[in-house]
Structure 1
Amino acid sequence: MASLTREEARQRAQLITVNRMEVDLDLDRGSEHFGSTTRIRFSCNVPGESTFLDLRSVSTGSVTLNGGSISPDAVVDGRLPLTGLAEDNLVEVVATMAYSRDGQGLHRSTDPADGEDYVYGHLFLDAAPTVFACFDQPDLKAPYAVTVRAPQGSVVLGNGRATQTSPGHWELSETLPLATYFVTVCVGPYVSVHDEHDGIPLGIHARRSLQRELEHHAPQMFEVTKQSFDHYHRTFGIRYPFGDYDQVFVPEFNAGAMENPGCVTFRDPMLYRGAATREQILQRSNTIAHEMAHMWFGDLVTMRWWDDLWLNESFAEFMAYTATSAATEFTDSWVEFGIARKQWGYAAERAPSTHPVAGSPAPDAQSALENFDGISYAKGASVLRQLVTHMGEAAFTSGVTAYLRSHEHGNGELAEFLAAMEDAHGSPLGEWSRAWLETAGVDVIALDRDGMMTRTTPEAYPADRPHSLDVAGFTDGAEAFRTTVTLDRPRVEVAGVARDVTLLVPNAGDLTWAQVDLDDATLAALPAGLSRVTDPIARGVLWGAVLTGVFRSSVGPRVAVDVFTADWPHEGHDALMSRVALAFTDRVVPQFVPTALVESVDGRIAGAALMAFQGAEPGSDRAIVAARVLASTTTDEDRLRAWVDGHNLPDGLQGDADFRWIVVRTLARLGLADDALISRVEADDTTLSGHLAALAARAARPGIPDKQWAWSELTQNRERSNYELNALATGFWSGGDVDNLRPYAARYVSDIPHLAQWVGADALDHVATLAFPARVVEPETVELVREAIARPDLTAGVRRAMGDELSKLEEALRSRARWA
C-alpha cells in the first residue's frame, strides 16, 4: 500500500475540512472479519476538485458520494478517488474488514486461559483505513460518533462513553475533534474497576483472567492517575477535556501504551502477576503519567505532520517524569530516566539512523514510524529540561500554556511552538533551537583534575550546544564539592574543583544530554568507590559512563566487569540494579567479551548476583532483583531444579509464575529442559504469558533440531501473533553455541524481510530487531547485513532495524579489536 506523503497530506488539508465522522462497526461476524460502515461529512473550498479517501478493506460493498454511486473497484492501492466535489459533501462506505494478529488496526486475541476473545483498536500510525474509511492524516481532525454491534456479554469501551441501547448494540458519545490514529474501541468480556476524581469518571479494565491482578494493582494506579491529573491541571490551568478516562490493559500490544483520548490502551503484562519491585511500579506509573500528558500534548494539540512528533513524545516523556517526581511517591524517578531512558537514547544517537529531535525528515507516514525512538523520547525530554534552565521555569510554563490554548483541538508545528516560547521568554530562541532541536548528535563531556571541562561535538553533526549542568566530587562516598557550570565553549575552566577527590563526576545531576568520559583516576577508583556514593543520580551517571564507555570503546569490557562484580552487589537503588544487570547480561557480556571468556565472565556475573541475593533483606526489592539475575545467569542445576519445583524459593517469589519461567528458560538455555519439563510448567500456567514463556524456552534450547524448529516457526508459520514472534526471536538467540547459531545470520537476512508479506510494519520492526544475529560477532555478519541493507525489497523499518543493530555489532567488533 502506498504511504501518504507529506506533500499529499498538505494538498488534501488545503482542499478539504472534515466536519464529522460516523462509524458503525459490526464485531459480531465471527473471528476473521467485521463490518464497517462509515459516513463522512466534509467540505471542499474549491468545488469541482478531486481528492482521495483512504480505505484498506477485504471487500467493499458500496460507496456513495453525495447520493451518487462509485464503483468499489475504484479503490487502488488503498485509495478511493473522489471527484467532482461539492462545497458540502457526504461520502458513505460499506465494507468488510479483517481483524489483525500483529497488533495493528483492530487486533483480535484469544486468551488461552479461558478461551475468551478480545478486540482492541490500535490505529497508530496509519492503520485507521483497515478499520474504517477515512482521510488518514493527523491534521484532518473531526468529531467521531461510533456505534458497535458486539457479541452478547461483551463490554464495549472507546473514546466516548459507551451505552448499550439494546442487547449487543452500543452507542459511544460523540467525541471532540480527534486525529484518525487516536480512535479506538475495545470489545470483549473485560472486567473493570471504577473510581472518580475531580468530576472525571475513571475506569481501569483488563481481561477476565487478569481480574485478580487488576483488583490488586488498581488502587495504586488510581492514586497515580489522580495525582497526575492534579499536577497537569495545576501546571497548565487547562482541564482534561475528553470526558471519561478509561485505561484498558489489552493483550499482544505492540507498544507500551497508546494515548487514545478517553480510552488509553496499555500492554497487559504491566499488570504484574507475581512480585513487582518498586522500579516496575514506577515504570507503570510513569507510563500512566506519560499517556495522560498526551491528553494535552498530542490529543488536545496534535502535530500537523509526523516530522513534529516530538511535540507529542518529547513533551509526554518530560511531563511524565516531572509529574512522577513532583506529585507521586516516586520522587527519585529521574534516576530511572537516567539509567534506562537516556541509555536508550544515547544508543539511538550513536546509530546511523540518528536524527534531530524536531524537523526530522518524514517524507511519508511510514518513514515517520522509524523515528519513534530514544531520540524523540529521551533526548527530547532532556532537551526540554535544558530549555527550562535556559528560559526559567515560569516562562517555560507560560509559553507552553499559551501554545496549548492557542491551538487547542487543532494542530501545531515547531515554528508555532517557538513563537509562543519566544513571547514568554522575551528573546529569540532560534539559535538555541537549531543547536538542540534541529541538529542531530550527542556531545561528549569530560572534566580533568585541573578543573578543565571539555565538550567534543560529533564531526558529522557540528553544533554549538550550550550545556547547563553541574559537576561534583566524592570521597569515601560523601560529596566533597558540587558546582554549576555553563559549558558553552569547547573548553571551560571550572572553579572549585578539588583535585584530591576519589571520584570526579561531570554532569553529576544528570541535567544535560551528553555522554560522559571519566578521568583515569576516577575510572580506576570505581570498583572500590562507586557503590559508596550516597547520591543515586550521581551513581547512575557513573554507571552510565561505564556502559557508554564500553559501547564507545573508551572503557574496556574487563574494567566494566570488574566494576560490576565489585559494586553491583552493593547497589542500593533497584532501578540501577535491574537496568545495569540487564545491560551486562543482554549486551556487554554476550557481545563485547571474547567468546572464549564468556563462560567465565557469566560465572562472575552469577557470583555477584549470589552475593547480592545473600546480602539483601529477604523479600526486599534488592533481593528480588538479585534473585532474578541469579536465576538467569547461574549454572547451578540443583538450585534451578529446586526452584522450578517450588523448593527453597526466595521470600516473595513463592508461586511467582514469571520467576519460574526465568528459571525454566535458563535450564532450557543450558540444555537441561526437555519437552516434559516445559510442558509441565506450561500446564501449570495456561495464561497468555505462560504460553509465550514456553515458546521462548523451547526456542532457547541449544540443540540443532531445537533451533531448526524455532526458526521455522518464526519465519514460516503465518498463524503466529506478534507476541509469539517476539518470544521466538528472543528465545532463539539467548541459547546455543555460536557455531550452531552462525548459519542463521545468513538466514536472518534472507528470511526476516519476507515476513512483510503477512506481518504489519510496526510488529515486523520489533521482530527484525529481536531476531538480529547479535551473538555472531564476526566481520562476516557485518558483510551479510550490509549487503542485505542495500537490497531494494526491504521495507524502510526493516532496513533501519538492520542498520541500527549492525551499528551495535560494529561497536562490539571495535571494542574487541581494541581491548583484545
Structure 2
Amino acid sequence: MPSLTRDEAIARAALLTVDAVEVDLDLDRGPETFGSRTTLRFTCHEPGAATFVDLRPVTLERARLNGRDLEPAVLVDGRLGLADLAADNVLEVDAVMAYGHDGQGLHRSTDPADDEDYVYGHLFLDAAPRVFACVDQPDLKAPYTVRVTTPQHWSVVGNGAARQTSPGVWELATTRPLSTYFVTVCAGPWVSVTGEHDGIPLGLHARRSLEEPLLRHAPHLLEVTATAFDHYHRLFGVRYPFGDYHQVFVPEFNAGAMENPGCVTIRDQYLFRGAATPDQLLEVDNTVVHEMAHMWFGDLVTMRWWDDLWLNESFAEYMAYRTSTEALGAPEAWVEFGIVRKRWGYAADRAPSTHPVAGSPAPDAVSALQNFDGISYAKGASVLRQLIAHIGADAFDAGVRDHLTAHAFGNAGLEDFLGAMARAAGRSLDDWSQAWLRTAGADRLSLGRDGTLARSVPTEHPADRPHTLDVAAFADGREVLRVPVVLDGPSAPVDGVADVPDDALLVPNAGDLTWAEVGLDDVTLDALPAGLADVPDPVARQVLWTALLVGMHRAEVDPRLVVEVFDRAWATEDDPAVLRRVAAAVTVSVVPTFLPPDEAEAALRRVAAAADVLLTRAGTVEGPAGDGLAVVAARVLAASSTDVERLATWSRGDGLPEPLVGDDDFRWLVLRRLSALDALDEGALAGAEEADRSLAGRLAALGVRAVRPTPEAKADAWRSLEEDESLSNYEALEIARGFWATPDPDLVRPYVRRVGDLLARLAPRMGEDALSRVATALFPLTVVEDATLEASAAMLGRTDLPPGVHRALVDEDHVLREALASRHRFG
C-alpha cells in the first residue's frame, strides 16, 4: 500500500480542517477481528474538491459521506476516495478490522498464564487506518470521542477518562486535539493501582498475571511520576493539559514506550518479575520521565511532518536524563546515557545510513521511520546539550517555554524551535544549526602528549562544529588534570598536558559533554588494562570504555585488548550500567563477531573468571549495591560459563546468590546457556516450561531451543520462522536471536544465503517495524567471512523487502564489514 507523501499531506492540510472524530470499537467479536465505526466531521476550504481518508479494513461494510452511500470501489490501496466535498462534511464508516499480532494497530495477545486476552493500540507511525478511518497525518489534529464494547470482565483505559456506561460498554472523555498516531485504547482484565497528585488522577495497569510485580513497583513508579510532574510544571510553565495520566504495561511491545497523551503504553518487561539491577530500575525511571516530557514536546506541540520527528525524541531524551539527575537525584544517569545511548548513536553515525539530526528528507511516512534511530535520540540529545553550552541554560529554558506557549495544541517545525531559541539567546543560530543539526557524521577528537587537542572531521560530511568540552588525565588512581576547552577549529592547545606523568591516561571529552568519537593515544591504550579500574570518575571511565569499543569497531583497537581490559578492569567497576553493558558488548559482539572463532572459548573463560571475581566481591558489599553486583555477576556467568555442573545446580535453584533465589528469569538464562553447551535434556526443559507458564516463560523456551547447537535444533527453528504463521512479533524475534548462536559456524553456514528469502516470506504477515527488528536479529554476524558479505550484498539488492528492513540490513552489513576489517588487521 502506498505511504502518504509529504506533498500529499501538505495538499490535504491546505484543503481540510478536521473538526471532531468519534470512534466506536466493538472488541467483543472474538480473537481475530473487531468492529470499527467512525464518524469524522471536517471542513473543506474548497467546496467541490476531492480528497481521501486513510482506511485499511478486512471488510468495508458501509461508507457514507454527507448522507450518501459510497461504493466500496472507492477504497483503493488503503485510501477511501471522497469527491464533491461540501464546506462542512460528515463521513461515517463501518468496517471490520483485524487485530495485529506484530505490535502494530490494535494488538491482541493471549497470556498463557491464565489464557486471558489483552488489547492495546499502537498507532505510530501510520497504523491508525488499521483501527479506524482517519486523516492520518500529524498536522491535522482533532478532538476524539471514543466508545468501546468489550467482554464484561474487561476494563478500558484510553486517552480520555474512561467510565463504564453499562456492562461491557465504556465511554472515554472527549480529548483535547490529538494527532491520529497518539490515539490509543487498552482493554483487558487489567489489574490497576490508582492515585492522585496535584489534582491529576494517576493510574498504573498491567496483566492480571503481573499483579505481584505491579504492586511491588507501583509506589516507586507513582513517586517518580509525581516528582516529574512537579519538575516539568516548574520548568515549562505550562500545566499538564490532558486530564488523567495512565501508564499501561502491555505485552509484546516493539519499543520501550509510547507517549499517547493521557495513556502511555510501556513494555511490560519493565515490571521485573525477579531481581533488577540499579541501572535497570534507573532505565525504567528514565523511560517514565521520557514519556512524560513528550506530553509537552510531541503531544502538546507536535511536528508538522515526520522529518521533524527527531525534535520530539531528542528533546524527550535530553529532558529525561536531565530530570533523572536534577529531580530524581540520580547523577549516574549520564553514565548510563554514555555507555548505552551514545554508543548506539555513534554506531548509527558511522554507518552508511547516517543522516543529519534534522532536515533528513522524508518524502513519505515510511522514509521517516527509517531515521528513527540512535541519531534521532542520543545524538539529538547530545546536540541539545551543546546548544545549552552555546547559548546558556537560562536562554534554553526560556526558549522552550516560548516554543510550548506559542504552539500549544498545534504543530511546529525546526524553524519555529530555532526561532524561539534565537529570540531567547538574542542571536542567530543559523551557522550553529547548519553544523550541528543539518550535517551528518561525528567528529573525532584526539589528545596528543604535546597538549594538542585535535578534531578530525568525516570527509563525507564536512562541517565546522564547535565543541564545548573538558579534557582530563588520570595517574595512580588520581585525577591529575581537568581543563575546560572550547574547540572551534581543527585544534586547540590544552594547558598542563605536558606536565602529567608519562604513563597517565589522557581522556578527551572526559565529562562526555559533546558528541564526538574519542581516539585514545597509544600510551593510554597500553595503560588501560592496569589503569582503567583506578580512574576515580565514573563518567571518565565510561568514556574510556566507549572509546575502546568504538576503536575496535573502527579496526583501530585489537579485540584482544578489549578482552584483556575486561579481564583486568571490569570486575572492579562500580557503576552497574557500565558493568552490564560492557559485559553484554563483550559476550554478544566482541567474542562471537570480532574475535576469530578458535579464540572464542578461551575469551569466554576469561569473561567467566572475571564474573566470578565480581561475584566474590559482591559478597563484601552490603545492601542493595552488593545485591546489584551479585545479580550482574551471576548473569554474566550464566552467559559465559562452561561449568556445566555449576550451571545445572543453579538451574535446580541450588547454590544461587541470595537476590536470585526463586528468580524464574534467571533460571531461563541458565537453561539457555546449558542448551548452548548442548547440555540440557528435553525433560528438564519441559519441566521448566510447566513450572513457568507465563508469557516470558514461553518466549524464553523458544530461545532455549533455538540456541541448541545441533542440526536438528537449527532446522526446527528455521522451519518455525518459515512456516508458523501464528508466531507473534516477540516469538519470531526470540527465535531469530537464538538461531545464530553456535560455537561452530559450520552448523549455521548453510542458512546464510537463505535469510533474504525468509524475510521476504515473513513480510506479508509482519509489520515493517516488527520485521525490521527480526531482520536485525537474523543477520548472520557469527559467520564473519567474505561469503557472508556476498550473501549480504545479494540481500541488499532485493526489491521484495520493505524499506525499513533494507535499512536494518544495511546497518548490519556495516557491522559485518567492521568485523572483517578488524580480523584482516588483527586476526
TM-score, structure 1 normalization: 0.99
2:654 aligned to which of 647, 651, 661 = 647
- 1:548 maps to 550
1:338-357 matches, within 5 Å, as: 338-357=338-357
How far off is 1:785 after superposition?
A: 1.0
Conservation of the 8 A alpha-carbon contact between 1:418 and 1:429: yes
1:66-145 matches, within 5 Å, as: 66-145=66-145
Give secondary structure in 2 for the equivalent of 1:309: helix
Conservation of the 8 A alpha-carbon contact between 2:597 and 2:743: no
Conservation of the 8 A alpha-carbon contact between 2:290 and 2:320: yes
Identity percentage of aligned residues: 59
1:716 aligned to which of 715, 718, 723 = 723
In 2, Cα distance between equivalents of 1:630 and 1:539:
23
2:532 aligned to which of 530, 533, 537 = 530
- 2:500 maps to 499
How far off is 1:157 after superposition?
A: 0.3
In 2, Cα distance between equivalents of 1:105 and 1:596:
46
Conservation of the 8 A alpha-carbon contact between 1:157 and 1:186: yes
Give secondary structure in 2 for the equivalent of 1:395: helix
How far off is 1:751 after superposition?
A: 1.3
Give secondary structure in 1 for the equivalent of 2:106: strand
In 2, Cα distance between equivalents of 1:593 and 1:599:
10
- 1:778 maps to 785
Q: Report the AA paired with residue 236 of structure 1.
A: F
- 1:406 maps to 406
Q: Report the AA paired with residue 795 of structure 2.
A: A
In 2, Cα distance between equivalents of 1:333 and 1:785:
37
How far off is 1:752 after superposition?
A: 1.4
- Deviations 1:501-556, CA, capped at 9 Å, x for gaps: 62111000000001101111111111111111111000000110110010111111
Conservation of the 8 A alpha-carbon contact between 2:191 and 2:208: yes
Conservation of the 8 A alpha-carbon contact between 1:450 and 1:499: no
- Deviations 1:84-121, CA, capped at 9 Å, x for gaps: 11111110101010101101000000000000010000
Conservation of the 8 A alpha-carbon contact between 1:730 and 1:770: yes
- 2:335 maps to 335
Q: Report the AA paired with residue 151 of structure 1.
A: P
Conservation of the 8 A alpha-carbon contact between 2:62 and 2:94: yes
Is 1:227 equivalent to 2:255 in the alignment? no
- Structure 1, unaligned runs of 5 or more: none
Is 1:667 equivalent to 2:674 in the alignment? yes
- 2:4 maps to 4
1:193-342 matches, within 5 Å, as: 193-342=193-342
Greater mean alpha carbon deviation, residues 729-738 or residues 462-471: 729-738
- 1:28 maps to 28
- Structure 2, unaligned runs of 5 or more: 621-625
Greater mean alpha carbon deviation, residues 254-263 or residues 748-757: 748-757
In 1, Cα distance between equivalents of 2:563 and 2:799:
41
RMSD value, Cα: 0.9
In 2, Cα distance between equivalents of 1:344 and 1:693:
25
Give secondary structure in 1 for the equivalent of 2:659: coil
- 1:47 maps to 47
In 1, Cα distance between equivalents of 2:740 and 2:285:
31
Conservation of the 8 A alpha-carbon contact between 2:370 and 2:807: yes
Greater mean alpha carbon deviation, residues 711-720 or residues 658-667: 711-720
2:610 aligned to which of 599, 608, 611 = 608
How far off is 1:736 after superposition?
A: 4.8
In 2, Cα distance between equivalents of 1:10 and 1:471:
47
Give secondary structure in 2 for the equivalent of 1:460: coil
1:536-615 matches, within 5 Å, as: 536-615=538-617
Q: Report the AA paired with residue 600 of structure 2.
A: V
Conservation of the 8 A alpha-carbon contact between 1:726 and 1:766: yes
Conservation of the 8 A alpha-carbon contact between 1:753 and 1:798: no
2:803 aligned to which of 778, 790, 796 = 796
Conservation of the 8 A alpha-carbon contact between 2:480 and 2:500: no
How far off is 1:599 after superposition?
A: 1.0
In 2, Cα distance between equivalents of 1:716 and 1:809:
28
Conservation of the 8 A alpha-carbon contact between 2:119 and 2:188: yes
Q: Report the AA paired with residue 226 of structure 1.
A: A
In 1, Cα distance between equivalents of 2:438 and 2:590:
32
Q: Report the AA paired with residue 662 of structure 2.
A: G
In 2, Cα distance between equivalents of 1:13 and 1:488:
42
How far off is 1:329 after superposition?
A: 3.2
- Deviations 1:716-774, CA, capped at 9 Å, x for gaps: 21100000001101111223520011111111122112211111111101000011111
Conservation of the 8 A alpha-carbon contact between 1:505 and 1:542: yes
In 1, Cα distance between equivalents of 2:415 and 2:60:
41
2:642 aligned to which of 635, 638, 644 = 635
- 2:432 maps to 432
2:698 aligned to which of 667, 672, 691 = 691
TM-score, structure 2 normalization: 0.98
Q: Report the AA paired with residue 691 of structure 1.
A: R
Give secondary structure in 1 for the equivalent of 2:658: coil
Q: Report the AA paired with residue 650 of structure 2.
A: W
Q: Report the AA paired with residue 555 of structure 1.
A: V
Greater mean alpha carbon deviation, residues 685-694 or residues 491-500: 491-500
How far off is 1:657 after superposition?
A: 0.5
Give secondary structure in 2 for the equivalent of 1:202: strand
In 2, Cα distance between equivalents of 1:18 and 1:359:
27
- 2:754 maps to 747
How far off is 1:420 after superposition?
A: 1.0
- 1:734 maps to 741
In 1, Cα distance between equivalents of 2:314 and 2:722:
35
Conservation of the 8 A alpha-carbon contact between 1:703 and 1:736: no
Conservation of the 8 A alpha-carbon contact between 1:449 and 1:499: no
Give secondary structure in 2 for the equivalent of 1:402: helix
Conservation of the 8 A alpha-carbon contact between 2:630 and 2:659: no
Paired residues in the alignment total: 820
- 2:623 maps to none
How far off is 1:239 after superposition?
A: 0.6
How far off is 1:72 after superposition?
A: 1.9
Give secondary structure in 1 for the equivalent of 2:103: coil
- 2:633 maps to 626
Q: Report the AA paired with residue 551 of structure 1.
A: H
Q: Report the AA paired with residue 153 of structure 1.
A: H
- 1:814 maps to 821
In 1, Cα distance between equivalents of 2:359 and 2:722:
36
